[in-house]
Amino acid sequence: MPYSFMNIDELARLLGIDRRRLERMAQRGEVPSQKVAGQIRFNRAEITEWLQQQMPELSRGKLADMDAGLGAHRQLDLDETIITPLLRAEAVRTQLNARTKGSVLRELVALAQETGLLYDGEGLLEAVLHREELCSTALPGGLAIPHPRRPLPYAVAEPILVVARTSNAIGFGSPDGGLTDLFFLTCSQDDRHHLHVLARLCRILQHQPLINELRDTSSQRDMIHLIRQREADILSDTL
């Protein structure tokens, strides 16, 4: 029970919001919750799923608060990068030839395998396909962040991030009806790291000049440098 559920104070710290505001959100049904022994409790699995759906729609300020809350929950320094350590040259591509949603996901998983950190490629592919069947991970503006619904602790040796651009934009279920050409596949070993990576990625990808540069470059090295620089800029703004 202690591991499966969080109380209001624990979730408020995780989200970086005021306890009273979270209590009101729970009472209005804006966040999944339930009563346990007369107290409001939050199921960790339900909260993970809810946050994954909420993050892309959050404002810059709210997303920054969540990022900070997750970092504090994980006892990280304010200037600690979490995306930069995941960027590996073998998992970054400026040109994928995939033309369908399924083939994109297969190529992304194949790149993850090239890191040597993926134990179960079939399991990861099945998990991301299932996630897309439930709800597309595509975002407005031609972006997508494919990921499993749950962390996969037995599938990866370390957290993985794959960054790739397709030669031609494809239909990926974007809420704005547009096509998608930039993909960021992520998989973690625990829910806190999983959510933190998603929050930081969403913050990084809110910067349109970065998106334009990622589309313009033909260099794998430049793509990595651009993302690293943007994460550094975000962190310097919060100090």
How far apart are alpha carbons 56 and 54 in whole angstroms?
6
Q: Which of 73, 147, 193, 194 is catalytic?
A: 147
Respond yes or no: is residue 147 known to be catalytic.
yes
Query: Which value, to the nearest 10 degrees, does the dihedral of the CA atoms of residues 164, 169, 171, 172 take?
Result: 20
Rounded to whole angstroms, the Cα distance separating 197 from 171 reads 25
Q: First CA to last CA across the chain, in angstroms?
A: 37
Q: Would you say the C-alpha torsion 26, 32, 34, 40 has a positive or negative sign? A: negative
Helix, strand, or coil (residue 50): helix
The CA distance from 15 to 98, in Å, is 36
Distances from the Cα of 221 to the Cαs of 143, 161, 164, 209, in angstroms? Answer: 20, 15, 12, 18
Burial label for 50, CB within 10 Å (0-12, 13-18, 19+), is middle
Residues 6+ apart with CB under 8 A from 234: 200, 203, 204
Give the residue numbers annotated as catalytic, written as ranges. Answer: 147
